A = this chain, B = another copy of it.
Amino acid sequence: MQDLLFDFIAKYVSLTEDEKNAIISLDTFRTFKKGVILLREGQNSNEAYFVLKGCIRAYYIIDGEEKTTAFYTEMDALTPPCVVNKTPSEYYISCIEDSIIIISNPEMEAEIFDKFPKFESLCRVLSEELLAKQQINFDEFKTSSPEQRYLNLLQSRPDLIQRVPQHQLASYLGIKPESLSRLRPRIMAKNKW
């Protein structure tokens, strides 16, 4: 199981056995059942997540309606804004599937960064990379129509369309479930003729 993590890290830096053991000794691997809520609105959490297996989703409840804004799957990292800003969480995080997740907190990070500065460097690089990725994502979202966004998702994360319920996908695409339902036939019609 840990190999998934170390293979991922190996793309950025090579770790000594000592360093790997330091990570393992933190003992932060957790498994959750589908449906478990990891974070609730209003909570003062300081947990960051790294998905080894499975899928979690972030969603707001606005006027009693769930608004799904993100899905995190294998090798995705998520530090909720409430952790960074030390404010109560504005949203929920729950497991869409049975999942294996690494949960860390700032104290653990500080400890590791202190012992192995290399990790802080790694985290800086990862976070800059994430930031760039998310910028591009946001840009694509802004510059395209719901239809294009769906086609885009079909290309970039085809798995999501399989593993995620439609109404969650819809708000992820910034539209209503009924609209998503109508999108599909419309696209088909275009490709046929």
- Residue among B132, B136, B143 making CB contact with A67, cutoff 8 Å: B143
A136 closest partner in B (C-beta): B81
Cα of A80 to Cα of B131 in the assembled complex, Å: 10
A154 at interface by CB-CB < 8 Å: no
A65 to chain B, nearest CB (A): 9
A132 and B85 contact, Cβ closer than 8 Å, known pairs A124-B123, A124-B124:
yes
> Interface size class for chain A?
35 or more
A14 at interface by CB-CB < 8 Å: no
A175 closest partner in B (C-beta): B142
Cα of A79 to Cα of B136 in the assembled complex, Å: 12
- Copies of this chain present in the complex amount to 2
A38 to chain B, nearest CB (A): 16
Interface centre among A60, A79, A90, A134 (most CB of B within 10 A): A134
Q: Are A174 and B79 closer than 8 Å at their CB atoms?
A: no
A62 at interface by CB-CB < 8 Å: yes
A193 at interface by CB-CB < 8 Å: no
Q: Are B171 and A142 closer than 8 Å at their CB atoms?
A: yes
A80 to chain B, nearest CB (A): 8
Chain A interface residues toward B at CB < 8 A? 58, 60, 62, 67, 69-70, 79-81, 84-85, 90-91, 113, 117, 120-121, 123-124, 127-139, 141-143, 171-172, 174
17 residue pairs A–B, Cβ–Cβ below 8 Å: A62-B143, A67-B142, A70-B139, A80-B132, A81-B132, A81-B133, A81-B135, A84-B128, A84-B132, A85-B129, A120-B121, A131-B134, A134-B135, A137-B138, A141-B141, A142-B172, A142-B174
